[in-house]
Structures are given as structure tokens and as C-alpha cells.
Amino acid sequence: MRRWLATALRLSAAAALAAVLLLVLVLPSLGFILSMPALPALPRDWQPPTRLESDQGAWASDGSAQLRRVGGVWWLDAAGSPEALGAAQGLLLHPLIMDLEGDLVDTLRERVPTVLARHLLLGLVGLNNSRLPQFFQPRELREIRAATAVAPPTSDPWRAMGHPYQRALHYHALHDVSQYLIDNPLVRPIQVGCTAFAIGGPHSASGGLLIGRLFDFEGGPRFDNDKVVFTLRPDQGHAFMHVAWPGLTGAVTGMNERGIWVSINAAATSAQRLVGRPIIMAVREILQYASSIAEAEEILRRSPVFVSNGVLVASRDEQRAVLFEIGPSGLAQREAVDQRLINTNHFEHPAWAEDARNQQRLAEGTTTVRAARVLELLDGKLQQEPLSAADLAVILRDRRGLGDRDVGFHNRSTINAWIAAHLVIADLEAGLMWVAEPRHGLGTLRAFSIDGPLPEADLPADPELPLLRQHLARFQFLRDALSRNRLPAAQIPAAVAELLALNPQSFEAHWLAGRAAQAADNQATATYHLQRALELQPAYPADERAIRRSLNGEPAPGPGDPPADP
């Protein structure tokens, strides 16, 4: 009997081990294999151009594209077929694309620290994305394929991670996939917290629509440092310009020659699909083909998206801005009130009033605080005079709390928490976009029209740019070292003192100072700093609850990665 029982236990253990190996090794490997899509056929007579260079920049040998550095941003001007537009990226931006991919790999290693977890996650995402090409249009696939076809294979340091076309296709779903991975226990999710608004009529100094947009994304520093202004003149549809990063065929922020603006902010609803049309491709389609808000809405309605986003669409000719709140379960439209429209990261239309995830976002995120601060600033400034593009820049660079409180820098409940990948302002009537140089929206705002740079219309950098450059990296280092217990006990007092000196109005600095004082059994000092942290607008309700628990002497987590608030 005992021998039989021992045998049964060994067989059960072997079966359990086999099941674990199937889950951890076999299924992800199958995902890697199945996620390799068929390569789209390129025209047989297509001859890709070569890259030429000079001190002025680089260009394609057939004259279809040019790349220039305009201050601290890149400008790519390209025209022609999908193959020509794709080749422009592959030829002229390839080194930047490889560097950016390196940032993504570093971010993946940081967010998913263990090799086994990364293998499992990437394999399962690949398995899930095996149907992704079905949700792209043939012309889009050809453009992505051309971008990867012209790049020299010897200069691809990430080839072991998959075919360049396979990787590029997956990267075009990154915005969407990162949203549905937010609750995955394997992942410390990327934090994004975008803010956008539109004003028109008597509120605008130009009389036309003005739009401001801050795109927060922490996929790596090159999303900010190597941002690209694309001017594209496809052989079908409208010419348009948009701001993104090297290698992106889709779009997140842009304006076309018909005066149509479109930008996206991530949101959250209970309905999700595992795969669908990446929202950035729907944005690109709007820029290329829409001449009106109605046409933009039609494109969105026929796009089977797999996560939720607020899509801000504005029209020069209609003098109107609307927000399409779109998710897998439907689309609702929110109109401007008093010719003002604000979009952060939640839905406000009554259609979403009972949605559990949207309610959670409202209750636990930073989205309502940032929206309230935008409204506060608009109300204050519009009492004085109509706003200009420079005034919108001040709002998008604002890092103060509600009621104009000084809450230090890098507080995620502020409009500009110094995490932005790009800041863009548009005057639809003038056909101008201003794009901020690094870092995080504080650099010089370079002016562009559909025909290219307009240096005479540039706007100045923010006066706080030197402060950011001097203090942000050191503050982040000390905060992370203290919150993750990476310092020897003897170094903690000096680190806390330096943290407070760098950012004296930061709730995180005082929170960490309070925890350090508690660990040193200095309760009076701990109580002072924890109470001070509560006064300095803790970014998330979860932060405030944890600080209060610490004040009460209860076990509580310390500052770390905040709850996800895309």
C-alpha cells in the first residue's frame, strides 16, 4: 500500500512538473512561433532608395524623403507610396529605432525583473498577438514591412528577439497591450498620465481652435530625447504632420492639411478584447483620410479596438472639438462646454457611469485632480484675456497642486510631473504646431507647419528647465534607493537630508523621511514628516492611505511605483 501511494505521489509530482513546464516553456515558445506573421509582398519592381548624408542631414537617394535635426527634435519629411514612406523610416531613422528598442528592452527588464517571467510574458503576448495582422490594413502592413526591409540586417542588435517585421508589428500594439497588462501580476506597469484640452471662440487669442497636449509615457528616455515630427504626403488621402517616436507608422498626436486634429489619452473600462485594431492605427487613418469630425467618427466606429481611449478630435473648418470615448463595448461622444474641452484619463459621458473600471480610475487615479487643475488654470487665465499658444504652454508645464499649492516636482497628480514624452500645441486656424524639445515638455517649443519648420515662430523654453536637469535624476535615484531599501543604515540620514534639500515640497520626500525616522525610533520627527506629506497632495489615494497607516503605527507600504494610472 505504501509503495503504491509513493508511486502515485511521484506520478502526480511528475504530472504537475510537466504541466508547469508546458505553461512556462512550451506555450510561450509556441507563442513566439505563431506570432511570426507572413511577410507582406512588396511590389516586384520596387527598388528601395539608398541613404545619402551631409552636414545638413540625410535624405533618400530618390528624393522621396529627408531627415533634419531642428533644434532638439527630429523632422522627417516623406512622400509617396506605403513602400516609400516605410523606406524613409527604415533608411533615415534606423539607428534611432534600434536605440529606442534598446530603451524598451531595458524597460521590460526593469518592469519584469526575472528572465522566466519575461519569457512567459513575451511568449503569451506573442501567442495572443498571432491574429494581430488581421486588424491592420494591407497598405499599413506594406509600410511597416518596407521600413524593416531596407534596414541593414547586420545593424540589428535585437535580431534574437524576433524578425524585425515581427517586432515592429508588436510595437504598434504596445500602447494597447500595456493597458491590458496593467493588472498582470508579472508586470510593474509603465506609468502614463496624459493631459489634453481644447479652447475656441472668445477664449482663443487667434479666434480659432487652440489645442494643448501632454503625452506622458515612461518607456525610456529616447521617447522624449529622440521624438520625431513627421510630415507625410501619402499617395492617397491628405498630407499630415504628427509627433511620435522613430519607427511608428501609426500616430498618437497630429493634424492634417484639412485642419483636423486628433490625439489619444488612455482610459479604462471593464470591457477588453485580447486583440484588435491598435488605436494608433485608427488615429493614423483619421489623419490621412478624414476631412471632418463626422468622418473621424466613422473611422472610429468601424475600428474594433481592444482597449479604451479618449480620442480628442477637432476641426478647423467646423470650429468644433469633441471627445470620443471609445472602448471595446461602444463609443460615446462628449462635446465642449463653453468652448472648452478637457481630456485626462477617465470617461465622463453618462454611458460609462456604471462602468466599474472607469469608476475605479476616477476614485483611485490622478485623472480627476489633473483635470480639475486644468480647469482651475483656464478659469484664472481667461478672467484676464484670451489665451495664446504661449499661455497653453504655461498650463501644460504647470507642476503645482490644486489651489496653486507648491507640491514640489515629480508629483504625478500634477499636470506636468516631468515624465512626458512630448508636449504639443496646435493653432488649427494658422495650421501651426509647436513641439517641445527635451526634456519632458520644458524645452524650446519648435514651430512647424505642414511645409516644415518655422523658426521665427518658436516659443522659449521653460525657466525651470535647468532645475529639472540639475535635480530630477538625483531625486529619482535617492527616492528609489530609500524606498527599496538599497542603502546601508549608516547612509540613510544623509540620503534623507539630501532628498529633502532637493525637493523640499515633495510628499514622497517627507514620506520617506518619516519612515526613516520611524525606523530610527524617532517618533516626533516621524510624525512631523508624515503629517507634512499629507499636506503636500499625495499623488494617489492609496499613497494617502498608506501615510495615514504609518502615522497610526500600522504596517504600511512605502513610496514605490504608484498604482497604474494610464
Q: How crowded is residue 455: how many other Cβ atoms within 10 Å of its Cβ? A: 9
Q: Which residue has the cell 461622444?
A: 333
Cβ 199 vs Cβ 377: under 8 Å: no
Looking at residue 4, its pLDDT comes to 57
The pTM of the full predicted model, rounded to 2 decimals, is 0.91
Question: Where are the chain's structural domains?
Answer: 469-551
Looking at residue 498, its pLDDT comes to 98
Cβ 237 vs Cβ 263: under 8 Å: no
**Residues 6 or more apart from 275 whose CB is under 8 A from it?**
128, 129, 131, 132, 135, 173, 306
The string of DSSP letters for 270-285 reads: S---SS---HHHHHHH
Would you say residue 317 has pLDDT above 70? yes
Cβ 196 vs Cβ 394: under 8 Å: no
User: Which tens digit of pLDDT belongs to each residue from 190-204?
Assistant: 555 799 999 999 999
* CA distance linking residue 471 with residue 44, whole number of Å: 55
User: Which tens digit of pLDDT belongs to each residue from 118-159?
Assistant: 767 677 777 777 899 999 999 999 999 999 999 876 688 888
Q: Which residues face 322 on adjacent strands?
A: 313, 335
Cell numbers that stand for 400 in this block: 503645482
- Domain with residues 469-551, CATH architecture: Alpha Horseshoe (1.25)
For residues 334-352, give the mean pLDDT: 97
Looking at residue 54, its pLDDT comes to 87
* CA distance linking residue 46 with residue 289, whole number of Å: 25
Cβ 358 vs Cβ 268: under 8 Å: yes
Cβ 407 vs Cβ 414: under 8 Å: yes
The sign of the torsion formed by the CA atoms of 80, 83, 86, 88 equals negative
For residues 91-105, give the mean pLDDT: 93
The C-alpha R_g of the chain, in whole angstroms, comes to 25
In b/e form, how buried is each residue of 110-132, taking b as 16+ CB within 10 angstroms?
ebbeeeebbbbbbbbbbbbbbeb
* CA distance linking residue 156 with residue 158, whole number of Å: 5
Looking at residue 178, its pLDDT comes to 73
Task: Tell me phi and psi for residue 317, to 5 degrees.
Answer: -70, -35
Average pLDDT of the chain, as a whole number: 90
Strands (E), 139-209: 195-199
For residues 407-427, give the mean pLDDT: 97
Closest CA to 321 of 349, 344, 345, 293: 293
Cβ 242 vs Cβ 85: under 8 Å: no
Q: Which residue has the cell 487669442?
A: 205
Would you say residue 3 has pLDDT above 90? no
Alpha helices, H only, 318-464: 356-364, 367-382, 389-396
User: Which tens digit of pLDDT belongs to each residue from 359-387?
Assistant: 999 999 999 999 999 999 999 988 889 99
Q: Band of the pLDDT at 26, cuts 50, 70, 90?
A: low
* CA distance linking residue 344 with residue 354, whole number of Å: 19
User: Which tens digit of pLDDT belongs to each residue from 276-285?
Assistant: 999 999 999 9
Would you say residue 565 has pLDDT above 50? no
DSSP collapsed to 3 states, 282-314: HHHHHHHHCCCHHHHHHHHHCCCCCCCEEEEEE
Would you say residue 21 has pLDDT above 80? no
Looking at residue 558, its pLDDT comes to 84
Q: How far is CA 481 from CA 177, 305, 495, 512, 558, in A?
A: 29, 39, 9, 10, 12
* CA distance linking residue 252 with residue 170, whole number of Å: 16
Looking at residue 348, its pLDDT comes to 97
Q: Band of the pLDDT at 160, cuts 50, 70, 90?
A: confident
Would you say residue 563 has pLDDT above 50? no
Cβ neighbourhood burial of 385 (10 Å; 0-12, 13-18, 19+): exposed
User: Which tens digit of pLDDT belongs to each residue from 203-250?
Assistant: 999 999 999 999 998 888 999 999 999 999 999 999 999 999 999 999
